[in-house]
């Protein structure tokens, strides 16, 4: 799963965009405001003899125009270093959210518990998605209206259920892991293509428009992962606050931000997986043409053809297969 996460998201995602700078800027802006309020406001920070992180900045600003320029350069350098750090940490965090936790006994027990809960949730979603009945006390127009409103609920349940793998042994302990592994298992089940093996060549043979959409979707996932990191680190600013009530309010606000950032990340991963599924459904024939294999002639033969192509791309094919290069090559 770890290699699958790296292969599907990390190579496509842009390392840094203007949209990604928002959470990082908010993180440092919140810290600056907290430090300033602690010393009576922005104009009084340096006059009050600030200590800690604000002390070097105040010394530089006190040196005149050159000091201000150096302070601005230092702030820019800090932002760049933080951006590089976020880019480096985003992929390991996404792997952890996908269920890469280790093999120690307590971790395995917890992962088993989480997997069982996701299995139960998948069953509930399947029942909810297929529920066409209604309350026993409704009939006629009232039942028709209820079913119309319940269609929204059924559609949402069916969409959430579609992100889960079909087999019990394929389930993962997290929603992010189930979405990523679910799309890989679905592509292999329907087309016979092993996503970890075929993903790189498939992206290479895509047309520019489809590849750009995948890049934008992967970049969105990477940006939301970095936003989650900023939200998770923001509680450290509570150390600069005075008073238990202020610290408690800040921690509650940070907890809400972490919850919202995680929900946004999970939604982004699910949308990305839907995008990957759609791209394979439409453009998988390009992979056959690029590799010199004849596309499957029927849906019945597609799984066998996909497995054969996957073996060839993994350099494990031992059978002799005649190439079918397209005429344009």
Higher per-residue confidence, 78 vs 99: 99
pLDDT exceeds 80 at position 194: yes
Position 2 scores a pLDDT of: 47
pLDDT exceeds 60 at position 294: yes
Mean pLDDT of 317-323: 83
Q: What b/e string do you get for 78-115 counting C-beta neighbours within 10 Å, with b at 16 or more? A: eeeebbeebbeebbebbbbbbbebeeeeeeeeebeebb
Domain boundaries of the chain, sorted by first residue: 2-99+174-313, 102-172
- Reported as a single tens digit per residue, the pLDDT across 14-34 is 656 666 678 888 888 888 788
Mean pLDDT of 305-316: 91
pLDDT exceeds 90 at position 106: yes
The rounded distance, in Å, linking the Cα atoms of 146 and 128 is 14
pLDDT exceeds 90 at position 114: yes
Residue 110 vs residues 103, 106, 159, 262, 266: alpha-carbon distances, Å: 11, 6, 27, 20, 20
Record the pTM.
0.82
Mean pLDDT of 124-147: 73
| Average pLDDT of the chain to the nearest whole number | 83
Mean pLDDT of 178-207: 91
Higher per-residue confidence, 1 vs 253: 253
Token code pair at residue 153:
């609920």
By mean pLDDT, which of 49-63, 73-87, 211-225, 259-273 is the weakest? 49-63
* Band of pLDDT at residue 253, cut at 50, 70 and 90: very high
Token code pair at residue 76:
């820019």
């Amino acid at each position: 799963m770890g290699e699958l996460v790296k292969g599907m998201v990390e190579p496509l995602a842009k390392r840094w965009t203007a949209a990604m700078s928002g959470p990082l800027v908010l993180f440092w802006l919140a810290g600056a405001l907290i430090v300033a309020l602690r010393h009576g406001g922005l104009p009084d920070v340096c006059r009050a003899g600030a200590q800690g992180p604000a002390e070097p900045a105040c010394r530089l600003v006190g040196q005149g125009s050159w000091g201000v320029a150096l302070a601005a350069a230092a702030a820019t350098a800090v932002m760049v270093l933080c951006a590089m750090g976020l880019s480096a940490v985003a992929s390991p965090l996404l792997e952890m959210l996908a269920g890469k936790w280790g093999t120690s006994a307590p971790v395995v027990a917890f992962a088993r518990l989480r997997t069982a809960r996701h299995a139960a949730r998948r069953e509930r979603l399947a029942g909810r998605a297929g529920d066409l009945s209604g309350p026993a006390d409704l009939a006629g127009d009232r039942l028709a209206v209820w079913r119309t409103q319940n269609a929204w609920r059924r559609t949402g349940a069916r969409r959430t259920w579609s992100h889960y793998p079909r087999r019990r042994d394929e389930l993962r302990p997290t929603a992010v892991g189930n979405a990523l592994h679910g799309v890989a298992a679905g592509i292999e089940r329907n087309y016979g293509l092993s996503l970890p093996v075929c993903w790189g060549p498939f992206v290479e043979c895509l047309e520019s428009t489809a590849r750009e959409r995948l890049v934008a979707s992967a970049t969105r996932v990477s940006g939301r992962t970095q936003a989650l990191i900023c939200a998770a680190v923001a509680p450290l600013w509570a150390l600069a606050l005075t008073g238990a009530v202020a610290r408690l309010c800040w921690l509650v606000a940070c907890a809400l931000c972490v919850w919202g950032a995680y929900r946004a990340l999970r939604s982004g991963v699910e949308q990305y997986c839907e995008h990957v599924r759609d791209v394979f459904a439409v453009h998988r024939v390009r992979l056959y043409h690029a590799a010199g294999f004849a596309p499957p002639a029927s849906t019945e033969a597609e799984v066998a053809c996909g497995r054969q192509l996957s073996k060839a791309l993994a350099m494990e094919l031992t059978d002799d297969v005649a190439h079918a290069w397209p005429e344009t090559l």
